[in-house]
Amino acid sequence: MEVCWNYSLKYTSVAKIKAIDWSQFFATPAGIYTLLPAIGYVAFGVANVFFFSKALNQIPASTAFAVWMGIALVGIKVVDTLVLKEPFSAWHVLYIGFILVGIVGLKRSA
């Protein structure tokens, strides 16, 4: 949910939402396409908070937050590389590996 929430925020444009002609909203699909990222932002944000609160019921807050953010960082980098064709190097693999080792270590010691 964190990864989806992050990308919905990236593609939400307040300026475009303000420019919607609400009287013609249903006449063309452009209005819906403009609102989809904002709708996703709200939906993924609520789901993000819900699932994170569920995690907090099972493990300590510091571990839950570290794992949550680590998974989000790795997920965002994977989406950036595979979907958005951002550059990727061996250094990225090394540093993502460090993050994953930290996540596993925190989870195992919780």
- Give CA–CA dist 20/42, Å, rounded: 19
Q: Are residues 10 and 46 in the same domain?
A: yes
**Which of 37, 58, 79 is the last residue in one of the domains?**
58
Q: Are residues 68 and 90 in the same domain?
A: yes
Q: Are residues 29 and 11 in the same domain?
A: yes
Q: Are residues 50 and 70 in the same domain?
A: no
Q: What is the pLDDT of residues 30-56, one digit of tens each?
A: 888 999 999 999 999 999 999 999 989
The number of domains in the chain is: 2
- Give CA–CA dist 45/38, Å, rounded: 10
Q: Are residues 54 and 80 in the same domain?
A: no
- Give CA–CA dist 84/76, Å, rounded: 10
Domain ranges, residue 26: 1-58
The predicted model scores a pTM of 0.77
The residue-averaged pLDDT of 14-21 equals 89
